[in-house]
A and B are shown apart, each in its own frame.
Chain A
Amino acid sequence: MGERSLAPPIATTTATGPVGAARRPLHNDLLARWGTFGPALLLMLALGVLPLANLVYTSFHTVTWSDGRATFTPAGFTHYLALVDDPLLRAGLKNTVVFAVCAVGGQMLLGFALALLCSRVSRGRVLYRALFILPILIPGIVIGAIWKLMLNYDFGLVNQAIELVGFEPRNWLGDSATALASVIVVDIWHWTPFCFLLLLAGLESLPQDPYEAARIDGATWWQELRYITLPLMAPALLVTFAFRLVIAFKVFDEIYLLTGGGPVTATEVVSFTLYQRFFTEDRAGYGSAMAVAIIFLCSLLLVMALSVRRRSEGPA
């Protein structure tokens, strides 16, 4: 059980058996083993593990830079205690949760609906798929630039369109009532294709027999969806949902360009709070404490996602 939870879900779903080590060994040459695995391990230790240790160390200190040299003054737990009272962080956490839940919820619904539609289309599927992949490949910052233009008050296409049907133009990103919703819509535009792609691949790999049996029994379209597709797709839906949710917590690029966290704190998200505290205000010690706290939260989320996944797979 313990071992299973550590293996990435991606590997366990695809492996032909348990992770390869149990298979017939080809070669047990020490040089071959370390020569192939060593470089990756070294890089991961130097740039993956060491920075975390560095963050933890820094989080207990106050850092001041002078002449390119850092001075570390011990600060104990003061930075961690200060986190609790940080109004920006509180706003960031609240917005991140609202953002992630709404955006990912919307993406899953739309993505699944699209995948269902597309899986029933025989001609042109490749074309649709190519079209829908486009947003995944565009840099987040460019997505921000595109929608900053689209949502512009004076000349944006969105305001042009709603004026055409007789509504008043709105300052979508500058009004705190609509800013967060606008950012959520942009994220849905950005990531729905990703959900679509994963879910379409899932649908394409479903066994056909249950559908044939259902058709012979005269099942309606809705019954097929409710009693065959949904139960069979449950694992794929959960994995996609968890995967997207974790990525949504990292959102930074689009918001950096679209609103910069504003107006006031309407679209402040945790990544952005962290960036401001660490870089803009140059408070490395406090920023590190915040980073450690966020990393802790992310790991917690991951463990939760993995346990949900394991339960959905049943005792097998």
Chain B
Amino acid sequence: MTRLSHRIARHGALIAVGALVLVPVVWVVTAGFRTQISLLTAEFLFTPVLSNFAEVLFSKTSDFLVNYRNSLIVGLSSTALCLTLATLAAWSLHRLRWPRWVVHVFLGWALIFQMLPPVALAGAWYTMARTVGLENSFLGLILAHTVLNLPMALWLMGVFVREVPIELEEAARIDGASTPVLLRHVVLPLAAPGLAACAILTFVFSWNEFAVALSLTMKQTATVPVAIAKFAQDFEIRYTQMAAAAALSILPALVLLLIGQRYIVRGLTQGAVK
């Protein structure tokens, strides 16, 4: 075979896989624009309707806008909190004089914690939240998502903080910078791309999280994944509305993928293999 035919074969294979990835998503998004009958009869050509989206977003029986708002509140708050804690702690552990065992025990524990099934923790969190009256509140879920994403954020920020040249930090120290000034004006600007990667992933994982949200929320505080699960559990599944809701729920991920692919790739691959 010639080089050209090799190239065509490679692109052909990749395009085929790309189609496999894309077809289910596109098919479900288009299902959101169909009527129930059009979906059930599986007609190939159909006239798109907006009624499913209108029903999901604005009907009195649907809380989807509320769920969307809840997911945004929980996602943004837990991302902000998680990044703050993780950046400070990562910088502290890697740049300040801590005994080695403190660093190893804490990061080692974070690794073990990351591996635990969230469902196993959800039970304990639920009991604790119920004891202090935090069940069915945003605060409980925000804290839970923060601690769930903390290990990943700690490792990522650990990598990015170490990439800041230590000479710059020393120079700032010699010039008399206090710790907050040093962090604000030297470390943060230099770690910003890493921070962006970490922020995108933390937000997406919080947005996607289901098991803990299911056990810590009720009707008014339910997040998007919990709402979508409800669609599928109704006695008579409204398939087209479920499709519309699914399409709406992947919007933030799509936007982030379009504007921040570089950061997402960096965050996902950072550290695991380098």
Residues of A within 8 A of B (CB): 3, 5-11, 13-16, 19-29, 32-33, 35-37, 39-41, 43-44, 47-52, 54-55, 58, 63, 68, 70, 114, 117-118, 120-121, 124, 126, 128-142, 144-150, 152, 154-155, 157, 160, 189, 193-194, 197-199, 201-202, 205, 235-236, 239-240, 243, 246, 249-250, 252-253, 256-257, 270-271, 274-275, 278-279, 284, 287-288, 291, 294-295, 298-299, 301-302
Contacts and interface: CB of A to CB of B under 8 A. Distances in A.
B28 A145 contact: yes
Nearest to B40: A155
Contacts of A136: 268
Contacts of B143: 43, 47
Contacts of B268: 133, 136, 194, 197-198
A249 B117 CA distance: 8
Contact of A134 (B91, B94, B239, B257): B257
A274 B11 contact: no
Given A8-B108, A29-B179, A197-B265, A54 B150 contact: no
Residue from the set B18, B124, B126, B229 with the largest chain A CB neighbour count within 10 Å: B124
A26 B169 contact: yes
Nearest to A298: B115
B113 A139 contact: no
Interface in B56-108: 84-86, 88-89, 91-101, 103-108
Residue from the set B95, B116, B131, B144 with the largest chain A CB neighbour count within 10 Å: B116
B14 interface: yes
B192 interface: no
Given A6-B108, A8-B107, A139 B119 contact: no
Contact of A13 (B11, B124, B154, B271): B271
Interface string B25-51: 101100100000001111000000000
Interface string B233-251: 0000001001101100110
Residue from the set B96, B125, B146, B256 with the largest chain A CB neighbour count within 10 Å: B96
B62 to A, nearest CB: 15
Nearest to A279: B215
B115 A142 contact: no
Interface in B171-189: 173, 179, 183
B261 A44 contact: no
A37 B109 contact: no
A55 B119 CA distance: 12
Given A44-B150, A70-B127, A3 B104 contact: yes
Given A36-B91, A117-B14, A149-B31, 18 more contacts: A11-B155, A13-B271, A21-B99, A21-B103, A27-B97, A37-B92, A40-B86, A40-B88, A129-B265, A133-B268, A146-B28, A157-B27, A199-B273, A236-B272, A243-B272, A279-B215, A291-B120, A302-B115
B64 to A, nearest CB: 13
B42 A160 contact: yes
Contacts of B218: none
Contacts of B97: 21, 25, 27-28, 33
Nearest to A6: B108
B27 A150 contact: yes
A193 B265 CA distance: 11
A54 B115 contact: no
Contacts, number: 348
B21 A130 contact: no
Contact of A16 (B109, B146, B162, B246): B162
Given A14-B270, A133-B264, A24 B155 contact: no
A236 B98 CA distance: 30
A54 B127 contact: yes
B124 A55 contact: yes
A231 B110 CA distance: 30
Contact of A147 (B24, B150, B211, B243): B24
Contact of A22 (B86, B100, B155, B270): B100
Contact of B249 (A5, A40, A139): A139
A84 B219 CA distance: 36
A23 B91 CA distance: 13
A137 to B, nearest CB: 4
A47 B144 contact: yes
Q: Which 6 pairs, one residue from A and one from B, show the smallest C-beta to C-beta distance? A: A20-B94, A6-B108, A51-B124, A40-B89, A36-B92, A137-B253
20 contacts: A6-B104, A7-B107, A21-B94, A29-B179, A33-B96, A37-B96, A41-B89, A41-B106, A54-B128, A137-B208, A140-B225, A146-B246, A149-B242, A154-B40, A160-B42, A240-B272, A250-B116, A252-B210, A271-B119, A298-B116
